Structure 1
């Protein structure tokens, strides 16, 4: 295996946390957009927002696990 990881690979946990925050913003954007469409399309738009709303905790926890893994291998 590689003794030293490239610089861009050591930041994976940061990228996942940033994507987690970005998906919160996406969820809010989809939810607001769902309120602006007509009644026949509103249910689908709200379901899409709820689906995207499930991503942030998953991405955040994967980022935490990667950070612990990175710390363990940097010692």
Structure 2
């Protein structure tokens, strides 16, 4: 449901893949910045790097899910079933 909504809003898989790669770079940058600019020590820098680094798998997973949604949509358009499927989904939602 969430992936379908994101897809309808125009969010595409390439955006999520880009966000995943950017979050890896941001994790490394935040680790360096925290280590050099804060007097809190290496432990704090590690926590910042790990915190931001955990975003990457989420973005990549959302990218894969959106890619599947894009592929499904393309297959439905190719077979002419898109309008029929939307009618059925709309009918089930009203019950």
Give me the TM-score of the superposition, normalised by structure 1.
0.75
Structure 2 portions without partners, runs of 5+: 1-6, 76-95
Deviation at 1:45, TM superposition (A): 3.1
Structure 1 portions without partners, runs of 5+: none
Q: Which runs of 4+ in 1 moved over 2 A?
A: 42-46
Larger Cα-atom Rg: 2
More relative contact order, 1 or 2 (CA 8 Å, 6+ apart):
1
How many residue pairs get matched?
68
Give me the TM-score of the superposition, normalised by structure 2.
0.61
- CA RMSD after TM alignment: 2.2
Deviation at 1:36, TM superposition (A): 1.2
Tell me the residue number matched to 1:29: 29
